[in-house]
């Protein structure tokens, strides 16, 4: 009411005030920032850990709970959810909006590294990823074998290897490309099917076969050879590439004699096939 009385008594003053408000409004409107896709940092961190061959119950007790107990003490957590699948554990940590996403990811990595010795040796190294809406895929490419030409089309395994070793690397080298992910495909896998009757007859256990294959199928670092001009790293390339190589692995030795007894090879207690990995998702 008092502003109305002042305006009636001083019309020039009221006009100047209104003009000043209009000018300030136009000035503010011109400098008002409007973004259709604002850059908002969502402090969300995802932890994934793989345990091949484990059931969801074992994943829950041996991996998921240990991760939850390890990261639960981090400050600023708003919500903590987890999912246990066959062979994989996924833990999603949502922080308060005031928490810096980079610092939250670093804190989670430190906690996961501290609890890594608590996992079984079969559990693969956990991966800690930060949720970034801008990192969503903007282009999806389907790779199919070319059956129109006269040459024999590539098999699913060959096509997957070419996509991973050639196409993916070329796309990653394109300027402006952040990352390239390969989804699907058929990977090569050498399967060892154990024969229970042969194992029982020769007195060999499944653990012995697994240990022998794991120990023989790996690259071993030897050291380095130094000279005045250069230094070379030496390693033993023992990783096997053919099914015949796996068949020759010695699982155990039985009896007495030269060399510690009669050698029992993998092909005596198992059937080896060179095929494709089992498809676990569609």
Q: What is the pLDDT along the chain (282 residues), one digit of tens a residue?
A: 676 777 777 777 778 888 898 889 888 888 877 776 666 777 899 999 998 888 889 999 999 999 999 998 898 899 999 999 888 999 999 999 888 888 999 999 999 999 999 998 888 999 998 876 666 667 888 888 877 665 677 888 888 888 888 888 898 888 877 778 888 788 888 888 899 998 888 888 888 888 888 888 777 777 778 877 788 877 777 777 788 888 888 888 887 555 567 888 888 888 888 877 776 655
Distance of CA 166 to the CA centre of its chain: 20
What pLDDT is stored for residue 184 in this prediction? 79
Find the radius of gyration of the CA atoms of the chain.
Answer: 32
Residue 199, H or E segment = helix 196-202
Contacts of 282 (CB under 8 A, 6+ apart): none
- The residues spanned by each domain of the chain are 1-32, 44-135, 143-186, 188-276
Residue with tokens 């389907």: 142
CB 69 within 8 A of CB 89: no
How wide is the angle at C-alpha 70 spanned by C-alphas 66 and 71, nearest 5°? 125
Which string of DSSP letters, residue by residue, matches 247-268? HT-EEEEESSSGGGSEEEEGGG
CA separation for the pair 57, 219 (Å, rounded): 33
> What's the pTM value of the predicted model, to 2 decimals?
0.54
CATH for the 188-276 domain, from 3.40.50.880, 3.20.20.70, 3.40.190.10, 3.30.2090.10: 3.30.2090.10
In this structure, CATH architecture of domain 44-135: 2-Layer Sandwich (3.30)
């Amino acid at each position: 009411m008092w502003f109305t009385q002042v305006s009636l008594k001083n019309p020039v003053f009221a006009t100047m005030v209104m003009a000043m408000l209009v000018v300030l409004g136009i000035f503010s409107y011109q400098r008002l920032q409007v973004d259709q896709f604002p850059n908002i940092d969502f402090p969300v961190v995802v932890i994934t850990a793989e345990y091949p061959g484990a059931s969801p119950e074992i994943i829950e007790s041996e991996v998921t709970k240990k991760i939850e107990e390890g990261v639960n003490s981090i400050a600023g957590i708003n919500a903590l959810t987890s999912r246990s699948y066959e062979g994989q554990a996924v833990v999603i940590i949502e922080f308060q909006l005031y928490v810096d996403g980079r610092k939250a990811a670093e804190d989670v990595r430190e906690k996961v590294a501290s609890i890594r010795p608590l996992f079984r040796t079969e559990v693969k190294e956990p991966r800690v990823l930060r949720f970034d809406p801008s990192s969503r895929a903007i282009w999806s490419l389907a790779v199919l074998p070319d059956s129109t030409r006269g040459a024999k089309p590539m098999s699913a395994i060959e096509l997957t290897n070419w996509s991973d070793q050639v196409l993916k690397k070329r796309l990653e080298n394109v300027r402006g490309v952040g990352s390239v992910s390969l989804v699907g495909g058929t990977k090569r896998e050498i399967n060892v099917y154990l024969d229970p009757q042969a194992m029982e007859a020769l007195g060999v256990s499944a653990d012995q076969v697994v240990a022998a294959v794991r120990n023989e199928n790996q690259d071993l670092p030897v050291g380095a050879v130094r000279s005045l001009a250069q230094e070379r790293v030496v390693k033993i390339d023992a990783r096997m590439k053919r099914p015949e190589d796996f068949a020759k692995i010695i699982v155990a030795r039985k009896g007495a004699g030269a060399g510690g007894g009669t050698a029992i090879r993998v092909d005596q207690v198992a059937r080896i096939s060179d095929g494709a990995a089992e498809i676990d998702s569609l």
